[in-house]
């Protein structure tokens, strides 16, 4: 089906599970299973959820920069009922399509704001989020203005003392782009690590890496335990390991 016009398509899965993939300009953007929000088809979304699952039990205040079909917001809503969430998604037509064709669950606390990341984060209160997730793409790259030290400093302002910033980054083997973003995260937020598939971390293929940063103590040991339980081969690199692998970058 194609209720969103030529640039946005909702493509039903053919495996009988009832899932739908949101495709924009021919590229899959997100996947939703209305019947099972814990089913996360995209590898990087599994990694985002893995990190969130290491946080203490109970509701979480989560801000999402980039919404699409709100897959991760639906997961948090199901896994941690009562979680207040803000989704910053400037594409109003996409949001309307998703709300109409892929409605959010009952009793959710997800608020969608038609704002870009810079504007939306600037309008948030200090220490108002347990987690800030950056999953925004223009074409095949995160918009450059969302990876500057200035923007990441604003993200740090919004985070609570032990809060987490999670960034979905795509990179070539070698991870030089990821390393540059991590350098900014270290300066703006604090301790950093990454989680991704073993193949991506070892430089065997292009792929997505989830960067994790916290102004408090980052539980890298807990992340490694969680990664070991992941359904796909998944690894974690701390700052020292990344420095040895990539070298020093600015």
Class of domain 8-246: alpha beta
| Helix residue spans in 80-175 (DSSP H) | 92-101, 117-122, 149-158
Segment 103-147, tens digit of pLDDT: 999 889 999 999 999 999 999 999 999 999 999 988 778 999 999
**The pair of three-digit structure tokens given for residue 96, joined into one six-digit string:** 């309307």
Report domain extents, the chain.
Answer: 8-246
Using 50, 70 and 90 to split pLDDT, how confident is the model at 1? very low
Segment 56-114, tens digit of pLDDT: 999 999 999 998 899 999 999 999 999 999 999 999 999 999 999 999 998 899 999 99
Q: Please provide the size of the chain in residues.
A: 250
The confidence score (pLDDT) of residue 26 equals 82
Segment 179-228, tens digit of pLDDT: 999 999 999 999 999 999 999 999 899 999 999 999 999 999 999 999 99
Give the separation between CA 178 and CA 189, rounded to whole angstroms: 15
CB 245, CB 182: distance < 8 Å = no
Task: Scan for tokens 């739908």, then name that residue.
Answer: 20
Helix or strand run (H / E) with residue 125: none
């Amino acid at each position: 089906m194609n209720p969103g016009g030529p640039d946005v398509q909702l493509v039903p899965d053919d495996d009988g599970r009832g899932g739908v993939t949101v495709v924009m300009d021919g590229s899959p953007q997100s996947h939703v299973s209305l019947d099972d929000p814990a089913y996360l088809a995209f590898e990087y979304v599994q990694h985002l959820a893995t990190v969130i699952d290491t946080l203490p039990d109970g509701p979480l205040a989560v801000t999402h920069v980039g919404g699409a079909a709100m897959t991760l917001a639906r997961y948090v809503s199901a896994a941690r009922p009562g979680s207040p969430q803000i989704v910053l998604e400037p594409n109003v037509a996409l949001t309307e399509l998703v709300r109409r064709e892929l409605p959010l669950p009952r009793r959710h606390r997800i608020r969608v704001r038609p704002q870009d990341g810079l504007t939306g984060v600037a309008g948030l209160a200090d220490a108002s989020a347990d987690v800030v997730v950056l999953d925004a793409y223009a074409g095949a790259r995160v918009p450059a203005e969302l990876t500057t030290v200035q923007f990441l400093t604003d993200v740090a302002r919004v985070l609570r003392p032990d809060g987490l910033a999670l960034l979905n980054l795509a990179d070539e083997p070698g991870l030089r782009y990821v390393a540059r973003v991590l350098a900014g995260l270290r300066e703006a937020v604090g301790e950093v690590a990454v989680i991704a598939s073993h193949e991506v971390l070892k430089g065997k293929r292009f792929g997505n890496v989830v960067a994790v940063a916290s102004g408090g103590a980052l539980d890298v040991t807990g992340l490694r335990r969680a990664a070991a339980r992941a359904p796909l081969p998944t690894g974690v690199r701390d700052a020292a390991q990344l420095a040895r692998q990539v070298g020093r970058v600015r």
